[in-house]
Amino acid sequence: MAGPSHYIMPLPEFDKPVKILIVASPYYKDISDNQIAGAKVEIEKAGATWEIVEVPGALEIPTAIGIAERMSNFDGYVALGCVIRGETTHYDTVCNDSSRAIQLLGLQGLCIGNGILTVENRGQAEVRADPAKMNKGGGAAAAALHLIAIARKWGKAEKGVGFTRDILMAGDTQSESSA
């Protein structure tokens, strides 16, 4: 008996180039490699380009995305990693905190496809990462592409997460005038 099917939206089309940063944690290298392979295919199908940066673990993924947003010129991000339940509550911390941080960045206007797998065992991770099976890396890339299309449709706010240079400079001017 087949499981329920779900609708997969067609990839958006772009009239200007799209540049995506894939931020991957190769903690489980074979799983990460499969996720990255799936993401690359989806990004290239949409005519976009990609770069990859690797970080040690899932908790570092949102920080790397925040740094890239402040210091580079990417249109969107794909977060790829895998957290497999272990014997301690560390699993819950890593799952919840990485997901929450990515969500907060998204609410600030960043276009992020979250492909961090949170699974009970290695078998579940392998099926979800495999581009020929569940292809969650490709799904995360597609999500980022759809968010970029929405941001472009409605106009994108100025870059910056947190304090902007203009705000910091205004503070310096104020201190100089009061001196």
* 5 band by pLDDT with thresholds 50, 70 and 90: confident
| 8 A C-beta contact, residue 80 and residue 36 | yes
Whether residue 111 lies inside any domain: the answer is yes
Whether residue 7 lies inside any domain: the answer is no
The amino acid sitting at 150 is I
- pLDDT tens figures, 89-114: 999 999 999 999 999 999 999 999 99
Distance CA 68, CA 66 (A): 5
| 8 A C-beta contact, residue 120 and residue 137 | no
- In the chain, what are the helix, strand and coil shares in percent, each to the nearest 5? 50, 15, 30
Whether residue 67 lies inside any domain: the answer is yes
pLDDT, position 118: 98
Beta strand 49-54 pairing with 112-119: unpaired
Whether residue 70 lies inside any domain: the answer is yes
Q: Count of domains in the chain?
A: 1
Distance CA 111, CA 98 (A): 16
Whether residue 148 lies inside any domain: the answer is yes
- pLDDT tens figures, 127-178: 999 999 999 999 999 999 999 999 999 985 555 555 555 555 555 544 444 4
Whether residue 98 lies inside any domain: the answer is yes
**Residue scoring higher pLDDT (166 or 22):** 22
* Sign, CA torsion 67/69/74/76: positive
Whether residue 6 lies inside any domain: the answer is no
Buried b / exposed e along 140-152 (16+ C-beta atoms within 10 A) = bbbbbbbbbbebb
What are the counts of helices (DSSP H) followed by strands (DSSP E) for the chain?
A: 6, 4
Whether residue 5 lies inside any domain: the answer is no
Which listed residue (90, 100, 133, 156) is catalytic?
90
Structural domain range at position 91: 19-178
Mark whether 90 is an active-site residue: yes
Residue 40, domain CATH: 3.40.50.960
124: its two tokens: 């579940």
Report the predicted TM-score, pTM, of the whole model to 2 decimal places.
0.85
User: In which residue are the tokens 């941080």 written?
Assistant: 101
CA–centroid distance for 172 within its chain = 34
